[in-house]
Structures are given as structure tokens and as C-alpha cells.
Amino acid sequence: MGRSQLDRSQPGSPVAGGPAAGAVGPDADDTGCTVLHVDMDAFYASVSLLEHPELVGRPVVVGGAGGRGVVLSATYEARALGVHSAMPMSRARRLAPHAVVLPPQHHRYAEVSAGVMEVFRSVTPAVEPLSLDEAFLDVGGALRRLGSPRAIAREVRRRVEDEQGVTCSVGVASTKFVAKLASSRCKPDGLLVVPADRVVDYLHPLPVSALWGVGERTAEHLQRLGLRTVGDLAHTPRATLVRALGAASGAHLAELAWGRDPRPVVAHAREKSIGAEETFSSDVDDETVVLRELLRLSGLTAARLRAAGTVGRTVVLKVRFADFTTITRSRTLEEGTDVSRDVYAAARRLWDGLRLDRARIRLVGVRVEGLSPAEAAHRQMRLDERDRGWRDADRAADRAAARFGASSITSASLLRGGRGDPGSGPA
């Protein structure tokens, strides 16, 4: 995978965006630009292609293939045809009839993400993950050791590609907002530096939709007010914005329009929960089918906990009915766990407590909250602890899945083709 045009360009090469666009680029002045936003390029699709190199360069869509499946990710070849994440798979197939559809590999995504985050933390301890595939880095403390912010950004991109086989785009700026904006505008596989003294010149020609927090409806509302560019918004009295958008949103956008974003990079921000959910291809009223799905989701959730190096104490069950009514129930365990059997047992008790009678179910989900580092929790366990064998079995299954694919090993309960109650869990 080659470098983006932005990274191959010469100093001062223009970037679309306005009259001062020549002041930004991969070789622009990075003095004071110690915030990096690193965003992986079509992450889930790129990771899936590592096992399917023959599909590189073709439109590929990752997601559920059922009637209600949605797109998790798509290669840039598929995006050029109009496919995007969260789109119904049925629509994606109409837009890109020749695209290859691959099932998600969540364990593999977590594994590659962990490797990417390790690259970030080897550069600076000030890493703020936003999701599996993006993070902010404050490299102010690494300049003496590693060089300029631009040099650090290039080294991060090189190492991520060399060590994990996927590419990323990096925005370099003096604030989180501008760094994130820059990374989004140099995709794929690009590097963009926005000099600290050129932020306003860079921002003002951009459409208002470029501002963090401006969605489709807000953008339409601003355009009805005659505010089409960030500059238009910046030169509108704050009181007018507050009346039009509300106190919080109006003040927030007024600050961003002038490039003001005082938020620091918050290191070691951890996920608040880890889980998985599934929308059935058609509404389900068979309890056995629901329990089998809860068993699968519990195993997937526990695998994600182990991949993230965390355990959790609170198990949450989510159920959405055919009329889209959604309920959640939770159960807190005595201690944190990352064991599939424990997660399913709690989810099963929560399901039994609902006492549903032939209710038609559209979606079920399992989530674990109250997360903490797994290492500390495991040090406290006794050698003769009853569930030690289950934890070891889960880890052996993780290793098999990493080596032979996620479908290489599964619970015997899930191989019964829907016949019979899954019982207490994996067997």
C-alpha cells in the first residue's frame, strides 16, 4: 500500500480548503503542533484483507450478510460506489453488486488494535484511545527523544504498516479538534500538518459540516440561517448562535470556529463497557434460538474482554422487541470475570427473570461493564479456583481462533443446529 499524495508532496503543496491552503501539508511548520490524531484507514476491512490478499484493490464489504445485516466497514473501492458503514447490507449490495462480502472477525480486530495501541504507547504514554481504530497522542514529551511532531507522525505510520500490515492517516495540529479534522481530510494513508498560526485561515473556508458536532440536521439549520462556511459562523455574534442552537451548542461551535479547543489528551482512557449484539434476520419468538444467540454473544463478549486485557463485574442484557421497544437488565457479580461461562450464566439468569411468553424479539445483546485491568484481578485468584479450567479453555480457544480463524472452534451447544436448550453454557 503506497503513501498518500499528501505525504509524497513537496513543502507548501496545496491542500484543498481555501486561500491559505498552501500553508498546510505534510511538510508544513509543525512548531507547537504536539497533538496527533491517528485514524486507521477502513480498519475492519483492511484487517479482513490481511487474510484475503487476493481481494486487495477490489470492492469489499464487511458486515452481516443476512436480510437485516449492516455494513461494518468497506474498502475505498466500495466506498467509491456509495457504500458506507452502518448502511443496510441490502442497499450496499444494490450499490455494489460485484462487491465481496466478508463476515466480521472481531477477535482479529481487537488483536490488531492492541498491536497498534502498543506502537502508540511506545512513542508516548499520553495516548487517548477513542475506539479500536483511532486515538489522540500528545507527543510534547517525546520531541527531544524522537524529533519533530511531523517526524514522529511519519514513524508511527511506518511502524503501524510494518508491524500490523494496515495503514493509517495522521493529523498533526495544536489542538485535538484540528488534529482530528486534519486526519479526516488526508485519507487514506496520508499525513497533514496544520500550523498553529494558520488554524483560522485553514478552518474558515471549510463547510460548517467540518466542525465537530455539526451533523446533517444542524448543518441544514445553519444553512437556512445563511451560514455555509466555518468563517460565516465565526463572524456571527455568539448571542445569535446561542438563540438558534441553544446555549451549549452555540457556545461550543463559536469556539471551534476560531480553532479554540482547550481539551488535553487524556491518557489511559479505558472503555466503559465491552459487548456484542445481534439483530435477527426475522423476528424470533423461539426461546431456544434466543438462548443460543445469547450463548454466542456471551462468548464473543468474553473474548473481547480478554483481548482488551480487562475483566468486568456487571453483565447487561439488552432485548429489543418487534415494535422496537427496548429493555435492559443488569446483574453485578462478586468479582470481575472474562470467562465466557460466567458471562453467559449471568445473561441467562437475566433472561429467565424477564419471564417473556412468546414475545417476538428483534435484537438481543450482551454487555459487560465495571471494567478493570485483568492482570490485577487474576493475581488474586486461588490456584484451586473452580473456574480456572474454564478460563484456560477460553484462552486456548483464543489461540486457536487467532491461528486458524474465528470459525475454527465453537461451543458444542452452538453446533446443535438450534435443537435443544444451551443449558448452563459452553460445553
Binding residues for Mg(2+): 39, 133
Rounded CA-CA distance 263/42 in Å is: 27
pLDDT at 11: 33
- Lookup: cell for 133: 481504530
- Looking at the chain, the domain(s) classified CATH 3.30.1490.100 span 273-415
**204-256 is a CATH 1.10.150.20 domain:** yes
DSSP string, 371-414: EEEHHHHHHTS-TT-TTHHHHHHHHHHHHHHHHH-GGG---GGG
Q: Quote the pLDDT of residue 341.
A: 93
Cell readout for 397 is 480457544
- All three cell numbers of 248, joined, read 451549549
pLDDT computed for residue 212 by the predictor = 84
As a whole number of angstroms, the longest Cα–Cα distance in the chain is: 70
pTM: 0.65
Question: 167 to each of 75, 135, 158, 209, 353, how far by Cα in Å?
Answer: 12, 14, 8, 26, 46
What is the location of CATH 3.40.1170.60 in the chain? 52-104
Q: What are phi and psi of 136, to 5 degrees?
A: -95, 145
Domain at 5-42+107-199: CATH code: 3.30.70.270
**pLDDT at position 71, please?**
92
Per-residue pLDDT of the chain (427 residues; tens, 9 = 90+): 444 445 533 333 334 444 344 478 899 999 999 999 999 999 999 999 999 999 999 999 999 876 678 899 999 999 999 999 888 999 999 999 999 999 988 888 888 998 899 899 999 999 999 888 999 999 999 999 999 999 999 999 999 999 999 999 999 999 999 999 999 999 999 999 999 999 999 999 999 999 988 888 888 889 898 999 999 999 999 999 998 888 888 899 999 999 999 999 988 656 678 888 888 878 899 999 999 999 999 999 999 888 888 899 999 999 999 887 889 999 999 889 999 999 999 999 999 999 887 889 999 999 999 888 876 555 444 444 444 566 666 766 666 555 544 444 555 554 454 444 566 555 4
CATH 3.30.70.270 in the chain is located at 5-42+107-199
CATH number for domain 52-104, candidates 1.10.540.10, 3.40.1440.10, 3.90.1150.10, 3.40.1170.60 = 3.40.1170.60
Active site residues: 134
Task: Tell me what pLDDT residue 423 has.
Answer: 60
Q: Give the separation between CA 295 and CA 341, rounded to whole angstroms.
A: 9
Cell of 234: 465565526
Q: What are phi and psi of 208, to 5 degrees?
A: -60, -25
Residue by residue, DSSP assigns 43-104 as HHHHHHHHT-GGGTTS-EEEE--STT-BEEEE-HHHHTTT--TTSBHHHHHHH-TTPEEE--
Taking the C-alpha atoms of residue 179 and residue 192, their distance in angstroms, rounded to an integer, is: 9
Cell of 172: 498533526
Q: What is the pLDDT of residue 155?
A: 96
Q: Is beta strand 191-193 parallel, antiparallel or unpaired with respect to 100-102? A: unpaired
What pLDDT is recorded for position 69? 82
Condensed to tens digits (0 to 9), the pLDDT of residues 137-178 reads 999 999 999 999 999 999 999 999 999 999 999 999 999 999
> Is 3.30.1490.100 the CATH number for 273-415?
yes
pLDDT computed for residue 376 by the predictor: 53
